[in-house]
Amino acid sequence: MKKELTYLFFIILLLPLWINAQIYVSPAGKETNSGAIDTPTTIQNAIKIVTPGQTIFMRGGIYSIASTIFITRENSGIAGKLKRIEAYADETPILDFSSQREINENKGIVLDGFYWYFKGITIRKAGDNGILLSGNSNTIDNCIFEKNRDSGLQISRYYAAYNSISQWPSNNLILNCESFDNKDSLAENADGFAAKLTCGQGNIFRGCISHNNSDDGWDLYTKKKTGPIGAILFENCVAYNNGTLTNGSTTVTGDKNGFKLGGEGIPVNHILRRCIAFGNGQHGFTDNNNLGAIEMTNNTSYNNKSNGFGFREGGKHQFRNNISYKSFKDKNFGKDVENSNVWWIKGSTNGRTPALVISDDDFVSLTVPAVLKNEDGSPNLGDFLALKSNSDFIDAGVQTTGIEFNGTAPDLGARELGSQQKTDFVLKAIAKPIAGGSVSVSPVKATYDAGDVITLTVIPSPDYIFKSWSNGETTATTIVKMDANKTISATFKSTLPAAYVLTTLANPIEGGEIIVNPNKATYSEGEIVTLTAVPSKGNELKSWNSGESTDVVTIAMTADTGVTATFGEKLIGKHTLRIEEAAPGFCTYDGVIVINSSADNKKVTNITDASGSGINYTVKVPVSGLYTVLFRYVHRGKTTSAKVKINAADTIEVSFPVTSSTTKFATTESSTVRLNKGVNTIRLETIDALPFANIDWVEITGEAPVADSCP
């Protein structure tokens, strides 16, 4: 009996752990909540308490977050017991970092831990990378990165002290992710994805889509200073329309390549298999002066503005079974292995003897579909760039490592058809939400042949109506033709009143309060809510997390929503504003942030030694008038001068005499400039290419200057 009671005691003791095996978070969650599904906590708190093998389920809605979420090396899972963050059911959680300023330190998430798994999360509008992935053995699955102010996801070290490739992020899998509309203020750094500078071995991009970014789709840049990175494996990835954002605006300064694969002549043997680049503003694929032996196998380039494949002479690149069509030119490929590629150069077919002539007739369709991905995030191009069954490119390739095929040999290009039709396609039909209804499938089969036609019909549950299919159709029945594994979802809408939760936060709490009208526990679909910021005495509203700075804003409730109002001291009269590296008002700069050799490890901005380099600061003043500026710096070169530009116009010239040592700081003489009422950009810009001073801070003195958000 005693043994039975002891056993029962342990069952009771462990029961809470079994019940709370998972952690739930929502935009309306509170840090003090338990993390159960009916009392969700915050994502920041969940990350602190999650243990290996547990899953953090994120409920749908917008999570307004102002500070970087940092997952430390100490906060890691273990092999076989990952720490997981996943979207709950078929809901869409969005991590919104729009209140961050555009500076290098303002990542959305820094994932420095090991053995984490992210799935189904959207990360947007971070001040720098959406995710900086600096840890090992992590998986990022079916996540979306949009409108971040540097690359959507970047694989690079976080700590500068990690100076060997063995210390850099390794063995990470980026699976079925999408990245788009990422753009920095200079439009020259924000790629869809990047694995560059300090990236380790064994990293893979599989089934990812990168499009409409201001710079490149993928950037694998290397520098002589840091040396080679680990080889990256690409499988079934797509890069398109980079250099043009989804709103149609284009960039002048962006590189605009689909896949940029190196830099500065450093050899790294990357591998690209069955990837597609089309519609990019520069090259589809380019080695970018990578003089290694890149393996390019069964890739397709179509309608890129410059080279479909732009590779410099001197490389040892291996090309097998590739197609380039309707790009301006292609050049210097490296080794055309076994005469297996077809290049289309200025309207002529080159590269294969005897020539295979490429034309529109080789393809089922050259029309880009409106939707380019499956429900799981993997690419689904439909008939676009698929080969016709009578094309000369069917079975015209050579067999090689990592390429599965139908028929007697691989087809050319990324889209395999083959003389034998594929017979194991899987169809998944789901209802969103699950309670909304079901989907009838006819005929029902475990797997389907290529060309099979499937009829899907929705069956709404009581109190729900059908809204749309994931293919955009709104009729109750839709037809699906099987040419790949497919996931089709039917979205239902409840006819009952919605119950969305609004959470507001004053930052800091003592800075003021937010008046909510109407103030309710829950809100219905589309209900309009007015938010009024009321600063406490001596304070003023600086901004909402949406970026707006008016005292009153309105929002439409379409999901659980969190809103933050940031308050700060209201300044009147003559004041001095100091803007240091990484502080509010410190915006873009040419160069690097370095640790000065002084005892206190002071950070300074080391401006690039080139004419026209500089730093941009942004300040806001209540009235137009004269203000003084001065800079603190350290300088061991020759005395140099720089321009101070106000709103892009030359104003004054400032001299930077040498200082006695690298630990001795000095300030420039005070100079007078005219600032306009409102927001002003102050730029310190070098005149010549001499080694320039390292800048510590700038001070602006006058009528209540305050730091403003970067443009």
Q: What residues are labeled active site?
A: 260
Q: Yes or no: say if 708 and 585 are a contact pair by the CB < 8 Å rule.
A: yes
- Rounded Cα distance between 587 and 104, Å, is 9
- Rounded Cα distance between 132 and 197, Å, is 13
- Rounded Cα distance between 320 and 298, Å, is 6
Q: Yes or no: say if 362 and 452 are a contact pair by the CB < 8 Å rule.
A: no
The 10 Å CB-count burial string (b at 16+, else e) for 258-278 is bbbbbbeebbbbbbbbbbbbb
Q: Cα Rg for the chain, rounded, in angstroms? A: 28
DSSP letter, residue 48? H
Give every strand in the sheet of 486-494, ordered side by side. Answer: 427-432, 486-494, 464-469
The Cα-based distances of 531 to 17, 437, 504, 667 in angstroms read 40, 36, 9, 44
Tally the residues of the chain: 711
Q: Yes or no: say if 40 and 29 are a contact pair by the CB < 8 Å rule.
A: yes
Kind of pairing between the strands at 437-442 and 453-460: antiparallel
Q: Within 263-333, where are the H helices? A: none
DSSP letter, residue 545? T
SS3 124: strand
SS3 361: helix
Q: Which of 160, 161, 112, 165 is nearest to 137 (CA)?
A: 112
The Cα-based distances of 583 to 131, 174, 603 in angstroms read 21, 32, 12
For residue 216, give every residue at least 6 positions away whose Cβ sits within 8 Å of its Cβ, in sequence order, or none. Answer: 191, 192, 239, 242, 254, 255, 256, 257, 258, 259, 260
Q: Which of 133, 26, 15, 135 is nearest to 87 (CA)?
A: 26
Kind of pairing between the strands at 552-556 and 528-535: antiparallel
- Rounded Cα distance between 527 and 504, Å, is 16
Task: Label each residue of 199-241 as H, E or C.
Answer: CCCCCEEECCEEECCCCCCEECCCECCCECCCCCEEECCEEEC
Q: Which of 381, 393, 127, 347 is nearest to 275 (CA)?
A: 381
Q: Yes or no: say if 466 and 458 are a contact pair by the CB < 8 Å rule.
A: yes
For residue 478, give every residue at least 6 positions away whose Cβ sits within 8 Å of its Cβ, in sequence order, or none. Answer: 455, 456, 469, 471, 488
- 378: its two tokens: 């993997």
DSSP string, 465-502: EEEEETTS--SSEEEEE-SS-EEEEEEEEESSPP-B-E
For residue 5, give every residue at least 6 positions away whose Cβ sits within 8 Å of its Cβ, in sequence order, or none. Answer: none
